[in-house]
Structure 1
Amino acid sequence: MDPSRSQDDPPPRFIDNPNNNAMNQPDPSDFDIADSLNRMSLANAAAIPLPTSPSLLSPNDVSSRPIPVNQQPAPRRTPSSSSLRDERRKSIPALQKRQSTASLRSVSVTNGPSSPLADSSRRSSANFAGSPTSAASPAMLPPRLAFAPPEPQGPTAASIAAEHFQKEVDLHHAVDLGSKTVVVIHDACYGHRFSRPRTTRAQLSTIVERPERIRACVVGIAAAYVRLGRRHAGELFAPHPQLDLHLLPPPPFQIRKSSRSLPLTDEAVTSVHGNLWMTELKGMCDLAESRLALTGKELVRNRTQENDGLASSGPELHSGDLYLCSESQNAFQGALGGVCDGLDLVLGPGPTTRAFVCIRPPGHHCSADFPSGFCWINNVHVGISYAATQHGLTHAAILDFDLHHGDGSQDIAWDHNRKAWFASRKSSPYEKTPIGYYSLHDINSYPCEDGNPDKVRNASVCVDGAHGQSIWNVHLDTWGTEPEFWKLYKTKYAVLINKARTFLRNHTKRLTENPTGPPPKAAIFISAGFDASEWEGAGMQRHRVNVPTEFYAKFTADVVRMSEEEGLGVDGRVISVLEGGYSDRALTSGVLSHIAGLGNASADTPPSRMPSLAATLTKETMKPSQSEYDIDWWSPQHLEELEALVAPPIKTRDKSAPTFLNSTRSFSAKVVTPTWERKNFGSYPGLEPSLPPLPDVGWATAAHELSKVLIPEDRQTMSCKPEDLNAAASRQRLERQVALDGGVMNPAIIPPPLQPLLTINGNFA
């Protein structure tokens, strides 16, 4: 300290600016600032003159007054925070040490669950940077630290997984990764929603075929990819920022998001459903939105003049399990486009031989000219028609393990085989394609639930070879223990695979022996419904017949092995198309199990392609066996772990709302987060901490983040809520009333839910 300066005089201000000598002079205005600070009403400090804080002076204040004669500028030096702190301790012996308990708590500990809570009404001014009593202000720190940016937050397991899977999915869409299995998803399928106005919550609960089904399936797809692909902590290919995707072996299956749309009037569709019905359905879809707005009834068939009346063009459509909206046609055509994309990959020249097509609405209840059971178009039969026309498919077998009998699929197959039996050489390829149908279902459930004799009889037909037919139906039985179920599987349910094998072998032999006919090219189609799952809702399982989740993996793996047998003409080609399944857990676990049986075989890739991993990879790690899945993947505890991330419990109150228990902005700004990788953001000499390891990405976190990448964020993917449908009804009613009143709207009659829709001129937005 300068001996020529008295103890009561304020210290001169030091500013680190060598190019401006005037700024190195103490500012006489400091005396005014000190004088005003002395008059501040601080406890026990009324008589203590407060020294001037260097942080309170600006460069403009330096030359405004002459320097007193008895004070000479001290030699220029760069102050350190420690020297300034010592000077402040000497000049303020009592005031700086009298911090409130609230400020001590807020500065010394983090605001954790067990830490004392700071009293927001008694925060000390020492908590604010730049205050006169602050222990350290930016001007007291070295210049390089005075304005240092806040340190970045470290990565979380979720952020690591999200970044990794976004890159991996982008790679799936860009190149062919050489996988034998592909999973096809189509975002247009979310658009088919129940949209009738004035629908109560109870009525809406009966519509079990909803867009949420696709979301639950996508979670199952993501879980299967993470499990089979070993993309989680403890496995070889766990997500990591430094993991090079190009060095990975082919994934267990390739994920493709289709955008293809097959028109309802396409030949592949009309060959199955006819031109008249498809034209009528297209017209109903075009008018659905206006009919919903005017009358709330969209299921109005075309009228024809018969017997001087207005007879319908066909039987009345059941409004309890059929509905249309403005996006239904896009969903129908998108679903068919997804099936065609899957067939192009399986039947094309590439390595893909198996596909799971995740689409809705389902199709196996739809006959050639009549929809039912939420099914408007028979997706599988249209796929067979497309494959026969575009890829030379000669015969096909359908294996259906939905809880409900596929009455529409069986009716189409029966009528088609009857015509194919007498087809001539001039017939189209599809007209000459034999189709076998093999179903495992509950005889007491829909469509046989009311005991209709024709439905029950058709769901029990077993014909093998007579009149060109190959139809076989097996009914589900109740069971007590899993050994009992697997005995049923071996002795009763596996018969369907044997019947399909016989059908495929016989027609392959027939075509091989015909020198003038086409070469045999067969495929197996699976109608994959998961409503027989042990996790399906009680309403759907009211007859108490179900299957364990492992059934889907076991049955699918057996079908894949059968498809690769010699003499069947299949050559491993299996196309699975989503049918039923309505509870989230039934769909998620069922799809996980199904894909585990369908797609866990990777293409042969020698370790030499991966020099960085060659030391740890072997042929065993590169090529899992066909039966390599773990039933623990869909155990209840693991499903609960995944569901806790996908659909967390509803909070009773919003914990993010400001309360007295929340930290303030000033406190949050003071909390120093651990530095995870300072080298990426610059470092300060002598301050480099040890780098903590990156967090592990657990399987549930990985599956959840992958599902978020696959589920679109730019469109509606959920069902309409009752309040939305009621608001739409109120809006339509008001619009009609306004039209009757000559276009004049009275704002007083507008209910609160519709008031945000009004524009400035009083009309609806």
Structure 2
Amino acid sequence: MKTLLFTHASGLDHEMGPGHPEQPDRLRAIERGLEAERFQSLIRLSAPRAPLDALLRVHPQGYLSALEQAQPREGYAALDSDTVMCPKTIEAIWRAAGGAVAAVDEVMTGAADTAFVAARPPGHHAGARNPMGFCFVNNVAVAARHAQAVHGAERVAILDFDVHHGNGTQDIFWSDDSVMFCSTHQAPFYPGTGGYNETGAHDTIVNAPLLAGSTGDAFQEALVDRILPRLRDFSPDLILVSAGFDAHERDPLGGLRLTERDFAEATKRLMDVADKKCRGRIVSLLEGGYDLEGLSRSVSAHIQALMGA
């Protein structure tokens, strides 16, 4: 397997204030985990800036302009109670989305089999016209639309296993029968969406909420019984992953009890579907994960599985 890692130093410059859980040290923890010898064959690339046309397929120009105008020259600017900009935030936003676009290019053209984008800020809470929950631009939505517009993907599937439901992604694709959005997440929990009855206008939304305290057994059962059969039936041309690792048992923001082994097993199950349905094409994007040790171990396990090891 040829696996790519996209990242950029701008992700270390984006700060949301002292004590904020979505911190630059998240990327440093991931990098430390990837120093192990087993990752020597991982190809590491710099995430480019996202082209404007890629962003505009999801977010209107007025919203993108408003983000640029909101960035402070010094200090911090809060866009909501927990989504904050600093003087370096815009560059990190554009690079996170750009990494998603570049990863899709590499995988859809066959230059790589799989890719992981280690970038921040995350994106799955961002709506087309609003930031939310640490997120500004919906990176996975940008990736899906780019795959369709540039590479002719007729159907794109998204699996989101963050502990928080990806409400922004769900909302963006609610009425689109060409994109399937599947999510495991803790419920009831922030942001309050993701019920079984939320199925979209074309039955292409598949939610599998998990109760607080659920372990890997419940997570794997949700994948095997509810989500993966729907993915197989959908027969996507590309699978995207909103890879949030805050469902790990160590995470301070979640209440699920997953381990890094659960993320590895889920990745292998997803790769089996990808091998049979879309030539093995998977692009995974970092979302949450706020315990640094749990994040490092989980990302390492996830990438090792993407590498076929």
TM-score (norm 1): 0.39
CA deviation vs aligned residue, 1:202-223 (integer Å, no higher than 9, x gap): xx32x11111111111122223
**Residue 30 (structure 2) aligns with:** 217
Output the CA distance in 1 between the equivalents of 2:44 and 2:197.
Answer: 38
Change (3 A) 1:383 1:595: same
**Residue 61 (structure 2) aligns with:** 275
Q: Is the 8 A contact 1:441 1:475 kept in 2?
A: yes
Q: 1:501 aligned to 2:232?
A: yes
Cα drift, residue 384 of structure 1: 1.3
Change (3 A) 1:342 1:476: same
SS in 1 for 2:11: helix
**Residue 189 (structure 1) aligns with:** 11
**Residue 446 (structure 1) aligns with:** 190
Output the CA distance in 1 between the equivalents of 2:73 and 2:213.
Answer: 47
**Residue 331 (structure 1) aligns with:** 92
Give 5+ residue unaligned stretches, structure 2.
Answer: none
Q: Is the 8 A contact 1:367 1:412 kept in 2?
A: yes
**Residue 377 (structure 1) aligns with:** 137
Q: 1:528 aligned to 2:243?
A: yes
**Residue 595 (structure 1) aligns with:** 303
Output the CA distance in 2 between the equivalents of 1:467 and 1:477.
Answer: 26
- Opposite residue 50 of structure 2, the aligned amino acid is L
- Opposite residue 441 of structure 1, the aligned amino acid is H
Output the CA distance in 2 between the equivalents of 1:321 and 1:478.
Answer: 22
Report matched runs for 1:481-560 at 5 Å: 485-486=216-217, 488-494=218-224, 495-504=226-235, 522-537=237-252, 540-541=253-254, 544-560=255-271
- Larger Rg: 1 or 2? 1
**Residue 180 (structure 1) aligns with:** 2
Q: Is the 8 A contact 2:220 2:266 kept in 1?
A: no
Output the CA distance in 2 between the equivalents of 1:489 and 1:187.
Answer: 33
**Residue 564 (structure 1) aligns with:** 275
Report matched runs for 1:311-460 at 5 Å: 317-318=79-80, 320-350=81-111, 352-415=112-175, 417=176, 434-448=178-192, 455=193, 458-460=194-196
Cα drift, residue 284 of structure 1: 1.7
Output the CA distance in 2 between the equivalents of 1:284 and 1:477.
Answer: 37
Cα drift, residue 493 of structure 1: 3.1
Output the CA distance in 1 between the equivalents of 2:270 and 2:198.
Answer: 20
Output the CA distance in 1 between the equivalents of 2:136 and 2:49.
Answer: 16
Match of 1:289 among 73, 89, 100: 73
- Opposite residue 279 of structure 2, the aligned amino acid is D
Output the CA distance in 1 between the equivalents of 2:301 and 2:242.
Answer: 15
Greater relative contact order structure (CA < 8 Å, 6+ sep): 2
CA deviation vs aligned residue, 1:705-753 (integer Å, no higher than 9, x gap): xxxxxxxxxxxxxxxxxxxxxxxxxxxxxxxxxxxxxxxxxxxxxxxxx
CA deviation vs aligned residue, 1:37-89 (integer Å, no higher than 9, x gap): xxxxxxxxxxxxxxxxxxxxxxxxxxxxxxxxxxxxxxxxxxxxxxxxxxxxx
**Residue 38 (structure 2) aligns with:** 227
- Opposite residue 86 of structure 2, the aligned amino acid is C
SS in 1 for 2:58: helix
- State the identity %: 30
Change (3 A) 1:489 1:280: closer
SS in 2 for 1:526: strand
Give 5+ residue unaligned stretches, structure 1.
Answer: 1-178, 196-203, 230-250, 300-316, 422-433, 449-454, 506-521, 601-627, 629-765
Output the CA distance in 1 between the equivalents of 2:301 and 2:213.
Answer: 20
Q: Which has the higher strand share?
A: 2
Cα drift, residue 490 of structure 1: 4.8
Q: Is the 8 A contact 2:160 2:166 kept in 1?
A: yes
Q: Is the 8 A contact 1:534 1:549 kept in 2?
A: no
Output the CA distance in 1 between the equivalents of 2:55 and 2:63.
Answer: 10
**Residue 586 (structure 1) aligns with:** 294
Output the CA distance in 1 between the equivalents of 2:179 and 2:261.
Answer: 28
Change (3 A) 1:328 1:413: same
Q: 1:577 aligned to 2:285?
A: yes
Output the CA distance in 2 between the equivalents of 1:281 and 1:478.
Answer: 34
**Residue 82 (structure 1) aligns with:** none
Output the CA distance in 2 between the equivalents of 1:556 and 1:409.
Answer: 20
Change (3 A) 1:284 1:228: closer
Question: Aligned pair count?
Answer: 308
Q: Is the 8 A contact 1:220 1:590 kept in 2?
A: no
SS in 1 for 2:235: helix
TM-score (norm 2): 0.92
Q: 1:255 aligned to 2:44?
A: yes
Q: Is the 8 A contact 2:114 2:280 kept in 1?
A: yes
Cα drift, residue 545 of structure 1: 2.2
Cα drift, residue 461 of structure 1: 3.1
Report matched runs for 1:711-722 at 5 Å: none
Cα drift, residue 478 of structure 1: 5.5
SS in 1 for 2:208: strand
- Opposite residue 499 of structure 1, the aligned amino acid is R
Change (3 A) 1:462 1:504: farther
SS in 1 for 2:4: strand
CA RMSD of aligned residues (A): 2.1
- Opposite residue 272 of structure 2, the aligned amino acid is R
Q: Is the 8 A contact 1:461 1:471 kept in 2?
A: no
Q: Is the 8 A contact 1:261 1:333 kept in 2?
A: yes
